[in-house]
């Protein structure tokens, strides 16, 4: 299974967003978002929910616990 940082980066690229745009969407700095993709920082639970909602995927998929994107 893929890691959180890999999934976040792939999902962002699918939406054709820049890292700066993702930071703006999430209400965080571009640098904070870059840390997510580098795997040096992780969002707290509310941030994970916001990411999963934004990408319309399950939390399990986002964090690499499942290969199924669909939310239940």
The reported pTM is 0.91
- Read off the pLDDT band of 60 (50, 70, 90): very high
Q: Read off the pLDDT of each residue in 38-58 and give the average, rounded to a whole number.
A: 96
Q: How many residues does the chain have?
A: 72
Q: Read off the pLDDT of each residue in 2-31 and give the average, rounded to a whole number.
A: 96
CA-CA-CA-CA torsion sign (42, 62, 51, 31): positive
Domains (range + CATH), the chain: 4-58 (1.10.260.40)
């Amino acid at each position: 299974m893929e890691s959180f940082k890999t999934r976040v980066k792939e999902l962002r690229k699918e939406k054709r967003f820049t890292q700066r745009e993702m930071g703006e969407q999430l209400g965080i700095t571009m640098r904070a978002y870059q840390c997510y993709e580098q795997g040096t920082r992780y969002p707290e639970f509310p941030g994970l929910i916001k990411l999963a909602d934004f990408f319309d995927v399950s939390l399990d998929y986002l964090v690499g616990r499942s290969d199924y994107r669909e939310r239940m």
